[in-house]
Amino acid sequence: MRKNKGFTLTELIVVLAIIAVLGTIIVPSILGYVELSKKKATVENGRTIYMSAMLALTDEDAYESFYTPQSSWVAYEATADGRVINTTTEYKGVSSTYSERVGNVNSPLKAEGNYRFTVVARVDGYAHSTGSDWKNPSHITHVFRTWDYSDKRYTTFVKRLCAELDMKVGQQKGDNFQVKMPYTKRDDGGTLPLVRWLICYRLDDPSQVEIWAGDGYKCENGPAYRVYPNPASNYT
């Protein structure tokens, strides 16, 4: 008769300890690779949007539309490393950090090396819920399901951009939204999720077209981070 012998309690404890040690080493690495892949996917999506915008600008009418001067600029100030200058507001005990609009583009910059930019077009990277109170800083009050313009002067450019991206103006193309923005983690103190792509250009050098991620605060553009070119450090 052969007597079957199982694991002793000591052996089980040793095995579990080894598994626990391996878990503390492997799991963070896996999570790190997942996060890195999301960052790379976001930057690649930003590059796709950038290249489509540049192709659209080869059309003379779209170019003129894109660079039509505004009677009153809606601008934001950014740091050289691709982060917007933020401010905080509070409403009924709810606080939110959001991108601060520049009231006077001729006023001095807040720091040396900063620059100002304006938003031409926007689209939401994925479906998200909206709030009912536009005054509430925790609410995103609009969903741009296709490319839209921040000013009617940019209509011609937006239509050309949609043609380059094979998207119809005013609606999403089927079930495959081509501009998903999976990486939403923030490290700037902002409390709203990043849901919006923004096509911008620098006011000090309009040839510098940039793609930004935004949070859509109060139905505004809400830029937060530059994604392409030269992504902000949280995308690299």
Q: How far is CA 175 from the centre of its chain?
A: 21
Relative to beta strand 148-149, strand 196-202 is unpaired
Residue 57 lies in domain: 30-235
What is the pLDDT confidence band of residue 103, given thresholds at 50, 70 and 90? Answer: confident
Q: What is the reported pLDDT for 229?
A: 94
Domain contains 10: no
Q: Compute the distance between CA of residue 75 and CA of residue 77 in angstroms, rounded to an integer.
A: 7
Query: Which of 9-18, 22-31, 155-164 is predicted with the least confidence, judged by mean pLDDT?
Result: 22-31
Residue 185 has pLDDT above 90, yes or no: no
Report the DSSP beta bridge partners of residue 123: 197
Domain contains 108: yes
Domain contains 152: yes
Q: Taking the chain, what is the end-to-end CA distance rounded to the nearest angstrom? A: 64
Q: How many domains does the chain have?
A: 1
Q: In the Cβ-directed half-sphere of 83, how many Cα atoms lie within 13 Å?
A: 15
Report the pLDDT averaged over residues 182-196: 81
Domain contains 47: yes
Domain contains 61: yes
Domain contains 190: yes
Predicted TM-score (pTM) of this structure: 0.82
Relative to beta strand 223-228, strand 75-78 is unpaired
Domain contains 1: no
Relative to beta strand 101-102, strand 86-91 is unpaired
Domain contains 211: yes
Q: What is the reported pLDDT for 170?
A: 54
